Amino acid sequence: MASQALPYRPHNHQACVTQALADARAICRAQNARLTPTRERVLELIWQSHKPLGAYDVLAELTAEGQNAAPPTVYRALDFLQQHGLVHRIASLNAFIGCAHAGENHTGMFLICRSCGNVLELTAPGVSGAIEDAAKAESFKAEDVTLEIAGLCPRCQSETGHD
């Protein structure tokens, strides 16, 4: 069996964060986009863990740090990060998570554990292909796909199984 994906096992998460920030800087530089301090800090907060964070959770952190922040501060930063493919919004949770495939052209598919809250972002060509085919069969021009699967991650399945 393949080793479990990152969110599902202990790992040096700081490495995830560092890598994500480095990627983000490179992507913004390449796109001539300004990763300002607030935007970068919001991205870092979003990457705090593999669990999605609500906009108002981000806001609370910024406020706690003494930043002069209001809802538009956060939503603007999140809009910027979304537009540059650095974070995703999870519609079924009204929350945001760092993109695990920033820079790659991809359709995110999210496995959301209802027990521990961790989210794994996948790129599944088979799924994307099947979706495109289904849309094409209806002559529908697909532009944006929201695909979110709620359930139990491997770790949480085994835990309940041991009760």
> Nearest-CA neighbor of 145 among 157, 132, 133, 136?
132
Positions 131 through 160 that interact with a second copy (CB under 8 A): 131, 133-135, 137-154, 157
Positions 99 through 158 that interact with DNA (CB under 7 A): none
Shortest spacing between CB 16 and DNA, in angstroms: 23
Calculate the dihedral angle through the C-alpha atoms of 77, 82, 87, 88, rounding to the nearest 10 degrees: 130
Helix (H, G, I), strand (E, B) or coil at 33: coil
153 is in an annotated binding site: yes
Residue 69 binds DNA (CB under 7 A): yes
* Nearest CB to DNA, comparing residues 39 and 50: 39
Stretch binding DNA (CB under 7 A), from 8-16, 29-37, 97-105, 148-156: 29-37
Q: Residue 9 is encoded by which pair of tokens? A: 């096992």
Residue 122 binds Zn ion (CB under 5 A): no
b or e along 75-106 (b: 16 or more beta carbons within 10 Å of the residue's beta carbon)?
A: eebbebbeebbbbbbbeebebbbbbbebeeeb
99 is in an annotated binding site: no
Residue 18 binds DNA (CB under 7 A): no
Ramachandran angles phi, psi of 112, nearest 5°: -110, 115
- Spatial neighbors of 82 by CB under 8 A, at least 6 apart, are 88, 89, 96
Stretch binding DNA (CB under 7 A), from 51-59, 98-106, 134-142, 149-157: 51-59
> Which residues are documented as binding site for Zn(2+)?
113, 116, 153, 156
> Which residues are documented as binding site?
113, 116, 153, 156
Q: Residues interacting with Zn ion, by CB under 5 A? A: 99, 101, 108, 113, 115-116, 153, 156
